[in-house]
Homo-oligomer: A and B are copies of this chain.
Protein backbone atom coordinates (compact mmCIF):
# COMPACT_ATOMS: atom_id res chain seq x y z
CA UNK A 1 0.00 0.00 0.00
CA UNK A 2 1.98 2.93 -1.28
CA UNK A 3 1.51 6.38 0.18
CA UNK A 4 0.29 8.26 -2.85
CA UNK A 5 -1.95 11.24 -3.45
CA UNK A 6 -5.07 9.44 -2.27
CA UNK A 7 -3.63 8.44 1.11
CA UNK A 8 -5.81 9.99 3.84
CA UNK A 9 -2.91 10.46 6.22
CA UNK A 10 -0.86 12.14 3.54
CA UNK A 11 -3.75 14.49 2.90
CA UNK A 12 -3.96 15.35 6.58
CA UNK A 13 -0.22 15.77 6.85
CA UNK A 14 -0.17 18.09 3.87
CA UNK A 15 -2.58 20.39 5.69
CA UNK A 16 -1.31 20.29 9.27
CA UNK A 17 1.91 18.32 9.16
CA UNK A 18 3.98 21.22 10.32
CA UNK A 19 5.15 21.95 13.83
CA UNK A 20 3.98 25.56 13.95
CA UNK A 21 0.59 24.87 12.43
CA UNK A 22 -0.21 22.42 15.18
CA UNK A 23 0.85 24.92 17.83
CA UNK A 24 -1.28 27.65 16.24
CA UNK A 25 -4.26 25.31 16.26
CA UNK A 26 -3.56 24.38 19.87
CA UNK A 27 -3.70 28.05 20.78
CA UNK A 28 -6.97 28.62 18.96
CA UNK A 29 -8.58 25.55 20.51
CA UNK A 30 -7.53 26.53 24.01
CA UNK A 31 -8.17 30.25 23.87
CA UNK A 32 -10.73 30.74 21.11
CA UNK A 33 -10.43 33.73 18.83
CA UNK A 34 -6.98 35.24 18.98
CA UNK A 35 -5.28 38.33 17.68
CA UNK A 36 -1.95 38.19 15.90
CA UNK A 37 -0.14 39.42 19.00
CA UNK A 38 -1.92 36.89 21.21
CA UNK A 39 -0.69 34.07 19.01
CA UNK A 40 2.76 35.59 18.90
CA UNK A 41 2.92 35.66 22.70
CA UNK A 42 1.19 32.32 23.13
CA UNK A 43 3.57 30.39 20.93
CA UNK A 44 7.02 30.68 22.35
CA UNK A 45 9.86 31.18 19.89
CA UNK A 46 7.83 31.54 16.73
CA UNK A 47 9.04 34.36 14.52
CA UNK A 48 6.59 36.87 13.07
CA UNK A 49 7.45 35.76 9.58
CA UNK A 50 6.72 32.14 10.33
CA UNK A 51 3.52 33.02 12.14
CA UNK A 52 2.31 35.10 9.21
CA UNK A 53 3.29 32.41 6.73
CA UNK A 54 1.56 29.56 8.53
CA UNK A 55 -1.55 31.64 9.26
CA UNK A 56 -1.84 32.42 5.56
CA UNK A 57 -1.59 28.77 4.61
CA UNK A 58 -4.13 27.71 7.21
CA UNK A 59 -6.43 30.42 5.89
CA UNK A 60 -6.00 29.35 2.27
CA UNK A 61 -6.71 25.76 3.27
CA UNK A 62 -9.93 26.86 4.96
CA UNK A 63 -8.87 25.84 8.45
CA UNK A 64 -8.88 29.27 10.04
CA UNK A 65 -10.75 32.47 9.37
CA UNK A 66 -9.07 35.87 9.30
CA UNK A 67 -11.16 38.89 10.21
CA UNK A 68 -9.68 42.34 9.67
CA UNK A 69 -11.12 45.34 11.50
CA UNK A 70 -10.51 48.45 9.39
CA UNK A 71 -9.43 50.68 12.24
CA UNK A 72 -6.39 52.33 13.76
CA UNK A 73 -4.50 50.73 15.35
CA UNK A 74 -5.11 47.70 13.12
CA UNK A 75 -6.87 44.71 14.58
CA UNK A 76 -6.97 41.23 13.07
CA UNK A 77 -8.66 38.26 14.65
CA UNK A 78 -8.06 34.62 13.85
CA UNK A 79 -10.57 31.90 14.58
CA UNK A 80 -11.20 28.30 13.63
CA UNK A 81 -13.58 27.48 10.78
CA UNK A 82 -15.84 24.43 10.88
CA UNK A 83 -13.11 22.55 9.06
CA UNK A 84 -10.60 23.73 11.62
CA UNK A 85 -12.81 22.65 14.48
CA UNK A 86 -13.12 19.21 12.96
CA UNK A 87 -9.42 18.73 13.66
CA UNK A 88 -10.02 18.76 17.40
CA UNK A 89 -9.91 14.95 17.85
CA UNK A 90 -6.43 14.89 16.40
CA UNK A 91 -5.22 17.65 18.70
CA UNK A 92 -6.90 15.92 21.64
CA UNK A 93 -5.05 12.71 20.91
CA UNK A 94 -1.78 14.58 20.66
CA UNK A 95 -2.53 16.25 23.95
CA UNK A 96 -3.35 12.96 25.71
CA UNK A 97 -0.26 11.32 24.35
CA UNK A 98 1.85 14.29 25.39
CA UNK A 99 0.48 14.24 28.95
CA UNK A 100 1.20 10.56 29.26
CA UNK A 101 4.72 10.65 27.86
CA UNK A 102 5.82 13.98 29.24
CA UNK A 103 5.71 12.26 32.63
CA UNK A 104 7.88 9.48 31.30
CA UNK A 105 10.43 11.71 29.65
CA UNK A 106 10.71 13.83 32.76
CA UNK A 107 11.34 10.71 34.81
CA UNK A 108 13.99 9.63 32.32
CA UNK A 109 15.62 13.01 32.59
CA UNK A 110 15.53 12.76 36.37
CA UNK A 111 17.15 9.36 36.31
CA UNK A 112 19.98 10.66 34.20
CA UNK A 113 20.97 13.26 36.77
Contacts and interface: CB of A to CB of B under 8 A. Distances in A.
The residue in A9, A19, A41, A86 that gathers the most chain B C-beta atoms within 10 A of its C-beta is: A9
A90 B13 CA distance: 12
Contact of A94 (B83, B86, B90): B90
Given A31-B1, A93-B90, A17 B9 contact: no
Interface residues of A, number: 44
A42 B13 CA distance: 16
A104 to B, nearest CB: 8
Nearest to A17: B19
B22 A13 contact: yes
Contact of A97 (B27, B86, B99): B86
The residue in A3, A18, A91 that gathers the most chain B C-beta atoms within 10 A of its C-beta is: A3
A94 B3 contact: no
Contact of A9 (B7, B9, B26, B87): B26
Nearest to A9: B26
A84 to B, nearest CB: 11
A53 interface: no
